[in-house]
Amino acid sequence: MNLVLLKSSEIGSDNCATLYPFDARTKHIVSHLRKRPGDEVAVGVIGGTKGRATVRSTPGGEKNGSGLVLELAFDGGSSAPAGPDLTLVLAMPYPKTLKALWPVVASMGVSRICLVRAKLSPHGEHCQSSRIGEATYRPLIEEGMSQGGHTRQVKVDVALDEIVNSKVLARLGLGGEQGETRQRSRMAKAFLDCGDESGTSVQPLRDVIMSACFAANDESADGARKVPLAILAVGPERGWTDGEAKLFQEAGFDMALLGNSILRVSTAVVAGLALASAALDECIQLSRKKRKHDTSEC
């Protein structure tokens, strides 16, 4: 827990928040971080900004019911810090794998998770959307946000009612670009296949993202995008089918490569998001340098 997350409803008019003894955050601050009155901890408001909190009292145990009071001081502003806009489209894995992935994905700073059903996803009740409610995934996502030090809320869309097709992609806003203003040149859209793609000529994921960022810079009115956009689709253990690969390509996605190894979904998700996030951060740095260079020439 590198950032103690608070809900805005937990903050009083005195700019203090009270956490009770049974709260996992209280136990973490006192037992793991070993904070005492007068010490500070890093805090953040979900959907808001980050700051520091001063510990003003420590819990006295369950019997007397005393809690932990945090006096808050924020860095300024009320909105979550802007950053790369990264969406993960994930083919439904086995529930045990999905449960482990929720906090990991959230810790990597994604802004949106779209859970879809692939032809080779697990069958039966595993793909019933009623089994994947917000009460199940939201605490795990907030756990990951806390670990990664993020306050931006992660949006989740679950589309498991039918196997992924053009209508599902359109409903999720991930469809083709007909009628759009060159959306493909303004964002990176890539899909990975966890199956065996040996012998297939595929670009590395970083190259796909960097190419899209450079294209955006060329077409942007101010010469650069301040916040790059990227969508990464990861298939099930047995991979996307040929039909699904064609579906994504028709929707403007490029097949991307993580390397020559055949990876499990859990490994591919982490590796893919790490590469995508690093490439987007690199795009931001290049954009800043370009703006600085253009300004100095004026």
Rg over alpha carbons for the chain, rounded to the nearest Å, is: 22
**What range does the domain containing 44 cover?**
4-74
Asked whether residue 79 is assigned to any structural domain, the reply reads: no
Where among 74, 100, 135 does a domain terminate?
74
pLDDT at 131: 65
Secondary structure class of 43 (helix, strand, coil): strand
Q: Domain tally for the chain?
A: 2
Lookup: tokens for 274: 């790490």
Q: Are 35 and 55 in contact (CB under 8 A)?
A: yes
Secondary structure class of 117 (helix, strand, coil): strand
> Any idea how long the chain is?
298
Asked whether residue 134 is assigned to any structural domain, the reply reads: yes
Indicate whether 291 and 188 sit together in one domain.
Answer: yes
Q: Give the integer Cα–Cα distance in Å for 248 and 126.
A: 23
Asked whether residue 80 is assigned to any structural domain, the reply reads: no
Indicate whether 203 and 268 sit together in one domain.
Answer: yes
Asked whether residue 287 is assigned to any structural domain, the reply reads: yes
Indicate whether 51 and 163 sit together in one domain.
Answer: no
Indicate whether 171 and 65 sit together in one domain.
Answer: no
* DSSP codes of every residue in 231-245: EEEE--TT---HHHH
Q: Are 28 and 53 in contact (CB under 8 A)?
A: no
DSSP secondary structure code for residue 12 in this structure: -
Helix axes 265-297, 205-219, angle to 10 degrees: 30
Indicate whether 12 and 130 sit together in one domain.
Answer: no
Indicate whether 123 and 213 sit together in one domain.
Answer: yes
Where among 74, 96, 117 does a domain terminate?
74
Reported in sequence order, the residue ranges of the chain that DSSP labels E, i.e. its strands, are: 4-6, 16-19, 40-45, 50-57, 68-74, 85-91, 112-117, 155-163, 188-192, 203-204, 229-234, 254-257
Q: Which of 215, 217, 251 is nearest to 233 (CA)?
A: 251
Which of the residues in the chain have pLDDT under 50? 61-65, 178-185, 197-198, 219, 223-226
**Residue 31: which CATH number?**
2.40.240
pLDDT at 130: 59
Asked whether residue 270 is assigned to any structural domain, the reply reads: yes
Q: Give the integer Cα–Cα distance in Å for 177 and 164.
A: 18
Strand partners, 112: 87, 155
Tell me if the pTM is above 0.75.
yes
What's the longest Cα–Cα distance across the chain? 68
Indicate whether 122 and 217 sit together in one domain.
Answer: yes
Indicate whether 178 and 54 sit together in one domain.
Answer: no
Indicate whether 70 and 90 sit together in one domain.
Answer: no
Q: Which of 151, 197, 187 is nearest to 42 (CA)?
A: 151
Where among 74, 107, 123 does a domain terminate?
74
Indicate whether 113 and 67 sit together in one domain.
Answer: no
Indicate whether 134 and 237 sit together in one domain.
Answer: yes
Long-range contact set of residues 56-65: C-beta below 8 Å, sequence gap at least 24: 56/16, 58/30, 59/20, 59/21, 59/26, 59/30, 60/21, 61/21, 62/21, 62/22, 65/20, 65/21
Asked whether residue 65 is assigned to any structural domain, the reply reads: yes
pLDDT at 211: 85
**Residue 271: which CATH number?**
3.40.1280.10
Indicate whether 179 and 238 sit together in one domain.
Answer: yes
Q: Are 31 and 41 in contact (CB under 8 A)?
A: no
Asked whether residue 118 is assigned to any structural domain, the reply reads: yes
Q: Are strands 16-19 and 40-45 parallel, antiparallel or unpaired?
A: unpaired
pLDDT at 283: 83
Lookup: tokens for 258: 């993580």
